């Protein structure tokens, strides 16, 4: 049965053809899966632009790796060197939100998703192409009206306007 195969990884074969004709294998052997485990990075996979300090979604697919295994996300520069560990001990569930550290320099990178487990083969994949990490943009707001020199009458209604950048549409403005 499958459960006995997973509990006892070493086997011997005993063949008994009857009439006293039988043989055993000379030594133990191991049954292994014929499929190799794999990971495929889905996002970021090239062409995206992420800002330092922002929250981003990393997505991947895997085959032959249990969902309880943990992964590591590493940032690779154009030379293929690891410049940052973005996340560790991530469950293999296909998606994880990460916050890009503010210490990362703007540039072109690939993201590597890596499963290293003692006694198992290391499995990894990285983005197919480079994506950009941009410096954080400081939010700003500029009042456009009133902006000086206006005369507003008491008890009258006026529009107050402003221009803003670096804020989400759900952010609140206090007057």
The length of the chain in residues reads 175
pLDDT in tens, 23-41: 877 877 776 666 789 999 9
pLDDT band of 15, cuts 50, 70, 90: confident
**Cα–Cα distances in angstroms (integers) from residue 132 to residues 60, 70, 82, 113, 147, in the given order:** 19, 26, 16, 17, 38
Can you tell me the distance from the alpha carbon of 120 to that of 122, in angstroms, rounded to the nearest whole number? 6
pLDDT band of 165, cuts 50, 70, 90: confident
Q: Which two tokens stand for residue 161?
A: 């306007």
- In this prediction, residues 128-153 reach a mean pLDDT of 89
pLDDT of residue 1: 36
**Helical spans, DSSP H, in the chain:** 2-7
pLDDT in tens, 44-73: 999 999 999 899 999 999 999 999 999 999
Confirm if 120 and 39 have CB atoms less than 8 A apart: no
Confirm if 65 and 92 have CB atoms less than 8 A apart: yes
pTM given for the model: 0.63
- In this prediction, residues 79-106 reach a mean pLDDT of 94
pLDDT of residue 7: 47
Mean residue pLDDT of the chain comes to 86
- 140 HSE (CA, 13 A, CB side): 6
Q: Please give the backbone phi and psi of residue 133, each rounded to the nearest 5 degrees, phi first.
A: -115, 120
User: Which carries the bigger pLDDT value, residue 12 or residue 146?
Assistant: 146
pLDDT of residue 105: 93
pLDDT band of 84, cuts 50, 70, 90: very high
Can you tell me the distance from the alpha carbon of 75 to that of 112, in angstroms, rounded to the nearest whole number? 6
- In this prediction, residues 157-161 reach a mean pLDDT of 91
């Amino acid at each position: 049965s499958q459960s006995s195969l997973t509990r006892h990884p070493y086997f011997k074969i005993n063949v008994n053809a009857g009439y006293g004709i039988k043989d055993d294998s000379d030594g133990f052997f191991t049954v292994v899966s014929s499929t190799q485990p794999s990971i495929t990075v889905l996002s970021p996979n090239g062409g995206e632009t992420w800002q330092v300090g922002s929250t981003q979604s990393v997505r991947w697919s895997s085959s032959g790796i249990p969902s309880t295994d943990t992964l590591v996300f590493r940032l690779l520069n154009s030379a293929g060197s690891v410049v940052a560990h973005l996340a560790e001990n991530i469950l293999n569930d296909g998606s994880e939100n990460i916050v890009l550290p503010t210490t990362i320099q703007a540039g072109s990178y690939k993201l590597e998703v890596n499963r290293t487990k003692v006694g198992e083969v290391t499995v990894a994949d990285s983005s197919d192409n480079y994506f950009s990490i941009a410096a954080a943009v400081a939010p700003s707001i500029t009042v456009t009206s009133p902006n000086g020199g206006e005369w507003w009458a008491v008890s009258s209604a006026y529009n107050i306007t402003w221009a803003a950048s670096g804020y989400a549409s759900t952010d609140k403005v206090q007057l």
